[in-house]
Amino acid sequence: MYQRIILFLLISIILSGCSSDRKSTAKKGLQVSDNGHYLTKDGQPFFWLGDTGWLLFNKLTREQAVQYLEDRKQKGFNVVQAMVLHTVPSVNIYGDSSLVNGDVSKPAVTKGDSFADAEQYDFWDHIDYVIDQAKERGIYMALVPVWGTNVKDKKVSPEQARSYASFLAKRYKDKTNIIWLNGGDIKGSEAMKVWEVIGQTLRENDPDHLITFHPRGRTGSSEWFHKAKWLDFNMVQSGHRRYDQDTSAKEKWHYGEDNWKYIQRDFNLEPVKPTIDGEPSYEGIPQGLHDVNERRWTDADVRRYGYWSVFAGAMGYTYGNNSVMQMYNPKNKDAAYGATSSWQEAMNDPGAGQMVHLKNLMLSRGVESYLSRVPDQSVIAGISGGDGDYYNRLLATRSNQYIFIYTYTGINIPVNMGVLEGDRVKASWFSPRDGKITKIGTVENKGTHTFDPPGKQRNGNDWVLILDKI
């Protein structure tokens, strides 16, 4: 009898230890959270704050790359989205070509990697160097294997894609700061076979790194690949056009500037996967992209896209800047989309410094509150689910410890109280412009209460109403 009890206890302890080991192992590195909606790193919440440095590998020297990465680290960014092959072939600033005879299945790799020896240091060595520098600064590199235009132009066959993706996966599977962005500004329905091959090949040869698909403007990866086994999280590109410039009427989801609608849709899909707006309107880019005489998107606009999408349930947000994404150098006179500032100057545009406030706010309430957070428009009273016309839309997110409600225009916020436990709640205003908090005081936690944000109602007078459980 006693022997059976002792044996049972020993087996229970062993199984408990094994279970604990599996659980801790599963949480090492960058992972999807247990509830499927967010990311964790080593078991702690990971808020993706990305920057689009698309042409980082092509246009910057080693010294410039370090300058860029150090700046982004200081501003709180922890992900950089970059193209491996912008063109087929691609050539970097040192004159090194990526491919042999423009064949994607034949990367131009030399023996050795010494920067002092031009015969050794090749295109891929340069990418390795930048990835390692990013790692030293706590930055993940979200890599697009080959930009969609090249595939659309039939420069990449499924057979070539398989060979190339295998090369990438094997070369970078041991780098701990890699995320894969399949696609590249293209619909998944265009050359779908190639995208499926790349996704599957990356997963087969690199099982530990997360994979998504970077889609065309006003579309999302979930339209084509949500149930694909290789896709770990969804990505949308909400695009660069105003409401009145929208050309997406024929798309499956016709949402205009309302990027929160893409996130809302993805958030409710089965199976549950995280989602993010990986390309909203860039700071400093013309509205509508192609007419350089149009007014430009500002820091206020990129804040709106950020808070709208995150409060709708996104796992993070990717910021972009017109000059930085193309690493524009005025001396080269090759500006796209009317870029005028150098990338060095544009790194300090106001929006870039404001994005960290969103990250800090979302991480400010602890692990449990972060991972249990849900979008919840029912806390907004008096109007249907926070509906306001266009920029007057209110977005709410909460856990059982707090409620955050974002207004872009500073309109009054009517709240259904009593969602949080307690007779009273602590209320305050959070400024997305500088991250400062202004106390309102304690408020009775029943009925309906209307909060009046500081300042006059106008676009860009944005605030987050914070209600904390006492």
The encoded tokens of residue 179 equal: 């995320």
Task: Tell me which amino acid residue 415 is.
Answer: V
Please report whether residue 106 resides in a domain.
yes
Predicted pLDDT at 11: 35
The encoded tokens of residue 107 equal: 């990367």
Considering the domain architecture, whether residues 181 and 93 belong to the same structural domain is answered as yes
Three-state DSSP class for residue 207: coil
Strands 103-107, 48-52: pairing kind: unpaired
| Least reliable range by pLDDT among 251-260, 316-325, 404-413 | 251-260
Strands across the sheet containing 275-277: 219-220, 234-237, 275-277
17: Cα within 13 Å, side-chain hemisphere: 6
Closest among 32, 75, 77 to 52, alpha carbons compared: 77
Q: Where are the alpha helices (DSSP H) in 137-235?
A: 148-152, 158-172, 192-205, 222-225
Tens of pLDDT along 195-223?
999 999 999 999 999 999 999 999 999 99
Predicted pLDDT at 47: 98
Please report whether residue 305 resides in a domain.
yes
The encoded tokens of residue 435 equal: 């991250």
Q: How confident is the model at residue 255 (pLDDT cuts 50, 70, 90)?
A: confident
| Least reliable range by pLDDT among 8-12, 58-62, 65-69 | 8-12
Q: Which of 370, 398, 422 is the last residue of a domain?
A: 370
Q: How confident is the model at residue 27 (pLDDT cuts 50, 70, 90)?
A: low
Task: Tell me which amino acid residue 43 is.
Answer: G
Residue partners of 334: CB distance under 8 A and separation at least 6: 328
pLDDT at 462 over 60: yes
Considering the domain architecture, whether residues 206 and 254 belong to the same structural domain is answered as yes
Q: How confident is the model at residue 17 (pLDDT cuts 50, 70, 90)?
A: very low
Alpha carbons 366 and 300: distance in angstroms, whole number: 27
For residues 117-139, give the mean pLDDT: 97
What's the total number of domains in the chain?
A: 2
Neighbours of 349 (CB within 10 A): 21
The encoded tokens of residue 453 equal: 């944000």
Residue 108 Cα to chain centre, angstroms: 31
Domain around 402: 376-469
Q: How confident is the model at residue 250 (pLDDT cuts 50, 70, 90)?
A: confident
Q: Which of 308, 340, 370 is the last residue of a domain?
A: 370
Q: Which of 322, 353, 370 is the last residue of a domain?
A: 370
